Amino acid sequence: MSYGIQWLLPVLDSVDEGDYVTIPDFGGGLADMRAMDVSADGIIMVGYGNNKRGLIGFHADMTDPLLPVVKQLSIQDADTLQTLRASSAQAVSGDGTVIAGYGSTKKANRAFVTTVLDATTDPITLESAILPMLGGGKFAEAYAMTPDGAIIAGRSDSPKGPVACIWFVDETTGEWVVKSLGALSKKSKDAVATGIAYRPESAVGELMVVGYSQTNLYPSEAFVWTGNPVLEDDEIGYFYDLEYILTKTGVGEASGMGSEWILNEATGISAAGDRIVGWGVNPEGGVEAWVVTGFPFDELVFTHE
């Protein structure tokens, strides 16, 4: 059995340092609860588990850390009334009110975003939207969002394969739109965005997105995309694999994280965009976690061509 858990700080007399509590499962299905994200204050946790009918997302209120209030997420588009058969909550905004993830239809997975209107009701009161896919695509999945919940990152299928993408609300129509970020390989596309951050006043765009993509050399390599959340083609910004940036700018020399590493996946990014975490294969051939610090903020200067 597996459970979502929350490690508790020694702030209560009844809780010893290092103790933890489990997030209760839904009962009747597999005991498989997984916590995926948490609000800035640590009060709201989201993730997914299983009930009798399959995968279902959850919203857990940890105001009382010893008595978590766990509610299932039922996603129905507010406009079309389409209801997802299953759900998986992957990301939550800093204030805990906006949740993104994906769920299933009869045909494939669809990305969603939902706003918590009232967490005290049963079922929890939500206002949801099923996010659009790229033209010709068959599925879409959301995995990350900016702290304010305004921009969501993930992937959408396309005629050439799944590509990393972002979603945001168009200022003119007031509707959610999707923008393709692309993939590192131009032939066989398979990419997903897993982290996103604001970078105000950056010369290469106010957004920074990380993730991983198939390349011509490897099934998966970490990437960095920068740009602006607009539908038109960006005139600034870049899309490179992370190892290329580190070796060509010389940033990777200080830590030895150069061409001898294979940085397979970037899985997260700090709010300031200056630290990226993930995992890869080290020079000895072992799988190892890594963190990149001091990532270049503005235009890249390739001094090590």
Q: What is the pLDDT of residue 3?
A: 44
Q: How many CA atoms lie within 13 A of 159 on its CB side?
A: 2
Element (H, E) at 283: none
Q: What is the pLDDT of residue 165?
A: 97
Strand partners of residue 210: 195, 224
Residues sharing a CB contact under 8 Å with residue 140, sequence separation 6 or more, in sequence order: 102, 109, 110, 111, 131, 132, 133, 134, 154, 155, 156, 157, 165, 178
What's the rounded Cα separation, in Å, for the pair 230 and 117? Answer: 28
CB 70 within 8 A of CB 23: yes
Q: What is the pLDDT of residue 6?
A: 47
CB 243 within 8 A of CB 262: yes
Q: What is the pLDDT of residue 293?
A: 87
CB 83 within 8 A of CB 104: no
Q: What is the pLDDT of residue 55?
A: 86
Taking residue 159's Cβ as centre, other Cβ atoms within 10 Å add up to: 10
Taking residue 122's Cβ as centre, other Cβ atoms within 10 Å add up to: 9
Pull the structure tokens for residue 251: 């940033």
Mean pLDDT by 10 residues, the chain (305 residues): 44 52 67 88 92 86 85 94 95 98 95 97 95 96 97 96 97 95 91 96 94 94 94 83 89 63 94 93 91 87 78
Q: What is the pLDDT of residue 268?
A: 96
Taking residue 51's Cβ as centre, other Cβ atoms within 10 Å add up to: 15
Strand partners of residue 292: 276
What's the rounded Cα separation, in Å, for the pair 38 and 94? Answer: 8
Short-list 278, 274, 240, 272, CA closest to 257 = 278
Residues sharing a CB contact under 8 Å with residue 176, sequence separation 6 or more, in sequence order: 113, 129, 131, 132, 167, 168, 169, 170
Q: What are phi and psi of 263, to 5 degrees?
A: -85, 95
CB 90 within 8 A of CB 73: no
Q: What is the pLDDT of residue 1?
A: 39
Q: What is the pLDDT of residue 30?
A: 62
